[in-house]
Amino acid sequence: MTFSADSYFASVMGEFESLAPATKMQISRRSLLKLTGAAGAGLVLAFAIAPDAEVAAATTSKEFAPNAFLRVSPDGSILIYSKGPEIGQGIKTAFPMIIAEEMDAAWRDVQVEQAPINPKVYGRQSAGGSTSIPNSWDQLRRAGAAARAMLVSAAAKQWKVPEAECTTGDSIVMHAASKRQAKYGELALAAATLPVPDPTTLKLKTRAEYRLLGTRVSGVDNRKIVTGQPLFGIDVAMPDMVYAVYEKCPAVGGKVKRANLDAIKGMQGVKDAFVLEGNGTVSEVMPGVAIVATSTWAAFKAKAALQVEWDESSASRDSWTGAVLEAQKIAKQTGKQSITKNGDVDAALKSAAKRLEAFYSYPFLPHASLEPQNCTAWFKGDAIEMWVPTQTPERALQGVAHVLGLEQDKITMHQTRAGGGFGRRLVNDYACEAAAIAQKVSAPVKLTWTREDDMRHDFYRPGGFHAFTAGLDAKGKLVAWRDHFITFTSDGKSPVTGGNMPPAEFPLLLVANSELQQTMLPLMTPCGSWRAPRSNAVAFAVQSFIHELATAGGRDHVEFLLEIFGEPRWLPPANAGALNTGRAAAVVKLAAEKAGWGKPMPKGRALGLGFHFSHAGHFAEVAEVSVDAHKHITVHKVTVVGDIGPIVNMSGAENQCQGAVIDAISTMMNLQVGIENGRIQESNFTEYPILRMKDSPQVDVHFIQSDFTPTGVGEPAFPPAAPAIANAVFNASGMRIRSLPIRSQGVSI
């Protein structure tokens, strides 16, 4: 059995990284294709993100259809397909905005539809690592620009004027000298007969020319959302559909010994109950009992009555309390591995004017998307049709093909809107389970996980520990830094997903004498990517300890950070994942200014700062916090400053930052799951109290719109919030928070 999903995540995340913005994709005429199949439909322009060779090969076969396209109809409507999964990050609005901008289309003419899942047609269709925007930016812009060029060309031909004299705007081509103009719809049929221009010759707009990008656009699905229309995976309904639940061993790796299947089958509304052996791969199907019923409620009720005896001989016996004790012991020792070493830390510590030590820890977390995992599948003998709320539809396709032993072209997969992702839906275990159940049912079947299933069978953000030692010179400058990172491993070789620290982690490259040591504890509990993997936890520890150092040296926190950044420059590695100290300093300075750093405050109230760089985003946040005599914390306001390049949708980007900060407060204050005897201890929101409106602060968001390639905003605003608040709590009360969640230390919000 494969309990760990680490190799699965390595491959998924590797795919995201390999497509990061630094990657130069060759775009040529061949990668912009005109669809000829839709005669009479007007201009239909397709574009491919695949590298040249693949496109060239694909166009010769009948298989090829492009990965996304726009269509201008003679009635003037413009249809844009959004290829990527919408999980609440706003991509279904942002992608089409980029195309519409370069096309000079009026946004009111644009309709957006979700593209079906078909990687052969659409290329990569995934959402993760905040990479959707940077990876698609150039391709989408060129697609829009090509459409515009063809519409201009059609008009110029009709009017017998030079193309260069024509201008566009608001879905109209204009020729000022002859006072002529034509709407895009009127030109669509003529444009469709023209050759597609070479995309590399297209002139793209400069930022000053943007009319749509950077404005506030309301989400394209909002009307459907507020009127309760079916959009989500869990909303899928078919005639004669049946409803399934699936019970797995609460300790990962357990197998079914026996279950009271006959009693279950006799229950009202139950159609069938059976054991699935599964294929033992935790990212696909683990052993369990499936119940199929006439309604979700009948299935839930039967699940509650289900009694399974598990064979736990090879199941997890993980214990979080055990790990904490072990880590506390190990923290006093030298780390087993040295991940990176710069200068001479021991010598620098010896000669340091001040030396500081601290031990930080944070717990395991489930993703807890509000829509529980679910999937609808309809097995039709030798083929299957599925409706999946997922972040990685291609992986779902591969997983289902593997589980059923089907060729991928026998699988039709539809992507639905997902009620939250946060990294949970990078894995498609629930889709594989639905497929396996559907194979035994002669009707469409909707598998719904209960909230309890969802919380107990996740791919968790791993907990972790940092034993820091650092030294300051006589002027309070940071001269030595050592982090002994205690994490987990499932294979004894490398850390679990989300539980690794690279040699470039801040501030290792910026301190003359620095070292990262690592010790790994064994773990069977599956781990996975969780919004801003690694950063979501590491930022709390590192940025809090930096504040401890600033305080110990009698330094101002802002000034101390700026000194660490030093001269403006790019740090290694030389790719899009690299930190630029100039951009970092700029966000810190602006956050301090916007939040009123240094302003007088009443007793018990203070500001705190946090900085973190992740997912190519430079973010600084300042929290304004009060602490009362009963250790009750009020977060009044969080000021966010980010540099992610130009903003695509201002409303969406702000919404992501506000949400990330509230998510971060929720997490640092209240959230954790325990693990004992391999079992996740929490199961519903009573024990996992996500932040409520009354405790959520005002969140002010500012962007430094630099001219770098735009990068993603779903994740990088999360990490700096927890240290900003923890540092503010210290400044307000003298209480230092070194362990999350802070609720476990008698502090309340």
Partner 1 sequence: MFKVNGTEHSFEGLDPATPLLWVLRDSLGLVGTKYGCGIAQCGACTVHLNGQPIRACSTPMSAVEGQSITTIEGLAALDGRAEGALHPLQQAWIDHDVPQCGYCQAGQLMTAAALLKTTPHPTDADIDKAMSGNMCRCGTYTRIRKAIHAVADGGAS
Binding site for partner 1 (CB under 8 A): 87-90, 216-219, 221-223, 225-232, 234-235, 237, 243, 268, 295-297, 300, 368-372, 417-422, 448, 450-451, 651-652, 655-656, 658-663, 666, 684-686, 690-694, 696, 698-699
Least Cβ distance, residue 370 to ligand FES (angstroms): 4
β-pair type (180-183, 384-388): unpaired
Would you call 604 helix, strand, or coil by DSSP? Answer: coil
Distance CA 476, CA 353 (A): 8
Whether 430 and 373 have beta carbons less than 8 Å apart is answered as yes
3-class DSSP state for residue 647? coil
CA atoms within 13 A on the CB side of 91: 32
Out of ligand FES, partner 1, none, which partner does residue 418 contact, by CB within 5 to 8 A per kind?
partner 1
Query: Could you tell me the smallest distance in angstroms from the CB atom of residue 419 to ligand FES?
Result: 6
Interface with ligand FES, residue 219, by CB under 6 A: no
Which one, 158 or 748, has the nearer CB to partner 1? 748
The listed partner (ligand FES, partner 1, none) that binds 60, CB under 5 to 8 Å by sort, is: none
Q: Give me the torsion for CA of 501, 504, 509, 515, rounded to 10°.
A: 30
Choose among ligand FES, partner 1, none what residue 694 binds, the Cβ cut-off being 5 to 8 Å by kind. Answer: partner 1
Joined together, the tokens standing for residue 30 give 């061949």
Task: Provide the minimum distance between the beta carbon of 706 and partner 1 in the complex, in angstroms, as a whole number.
Answer: 24
**CB nearer partner 1, residue 119 or residue 250:** 250
Smallest distance, partner 1 to C-beta of residue 220, A = 11
> Least Å distance between CB 199 and partner 1?
32
- Listed in sequence order, the residues at least 6 apart from 224 whose beta carbon sits closer than 8 Å to its beta carbon are 231
Binding positions for ligand FES, 355-384, rule CB under 6 A: 370
40 interacts with, out of ligand FES, partner 1, none, CB within 5 to 8 A per kind: none
- Residue 98: CB minimum distance to ligand FES, A: 23
Which entry of partner 1, ligand FES, none binds 334, CB below 5 to 8 A by partner kind? none
Minimum distance from residue 212 beta carbon to partner 1 (Å): 15
For the CB of residue 588, give the shortest distance to partner 1 in the complex, in Å.
23
Residue 701 or residue 729: which is nearer to ligand FES going by CB?
701
Cβ nearer to ligand FES, comparing 57 with 370? 370
Q: Are 265 and 445 in contact (CB under 8 A)?
A: no
444: CB partners within 8 A, 6+ apart = 238, 240, 241, 242, 376, 377, 378, 438
Backbone φ and ψ for 70, nearest 5 degrees, come out as -120, 155
Which amino acid would we find at residue 291?
I
Q: Cα separation of 529 and 356, whole Å?
A: 32
Helix (H, G, I), strand (E, B) or coil at 730: helix
Q: Which residue is nearest to ligand FES (CB)?
A: 370
DSSP assignment letter at 517? E
The nearest distance, CB 89 to ligand FES, in angstroms, is: 11
In the complex, minimum distance from the CB of residue 662 to ligand FES, in angstroms, rounded to a whole number = 10
Report the C-alpha gap between 606 and 601 in whole angstroms: 6
651 binds, among partner 1, ligand FES, none (CB under 5 to 8 A by kind): partner 1
Cis peptide bond N-terminal to 507, omega within 30 = yes
Q: Pick between residue 188 and residue 713 the one whose CB is nearest to ligand FES.
A: 713
Q: Which is nearer to ligand FES, 580 or 658 (CB)?
A: 658
Give the DSSP letter string of 421-454.
-TTGGGS-HHHHHHHHHHTT-SS-EEEE--HHHH
**499 forms part of the interface with ligand FES (CB under 6 A):** no
The least CB distance from residue 225 to ligand FES, in Å, is 8
Give residues 66-105 in contact with ligand FES (rule: CB under 6 A): 88
Nearer to partner 1, 176 or 370 (CB): 370
Is 591 or 671 the residue whose CB approaches ligand FES more closely?
671
Size of the site for ligand FES (CB under 6 A): 3
* Beta-carbon count within 10 A of 569 CB: 11
CB-nearer residue toward ligand FES: 25 or 370: 370
Q: Pick one of partner 1, ligand FES, none as the site partner of residue 575 (Cβ within 5 to 8 A by kind).
A: none
Q: Which is nearer to ligand FES, 88 or 393 (CB)?
A: 88
Residue 91 and residue 641 in contact, taking contact as beta carbons nearer than 8 Å: no
Of 56 and 241, CB closest to partner 1: 241
**What, of partner 1, ligand FES, none, does residue 658 touch, CB below 5 to 8 Å by kind?**
partner 1
Is residue 420 a contact residue for ligand FES (CB under 6 A)? yes
3-class secondary structure for 273-339?
A: EEEECCCCECCCCCCEEEEEECCHHHHHHHHHHCCEEEECCCCCCCCHHHHHHHHHHHCCCCCCEEE
Q: Which residue has the tokens 């726009």?
A: 70
Binding positions for ligand FES, rule: CB under 6 A: 88, 370, 420
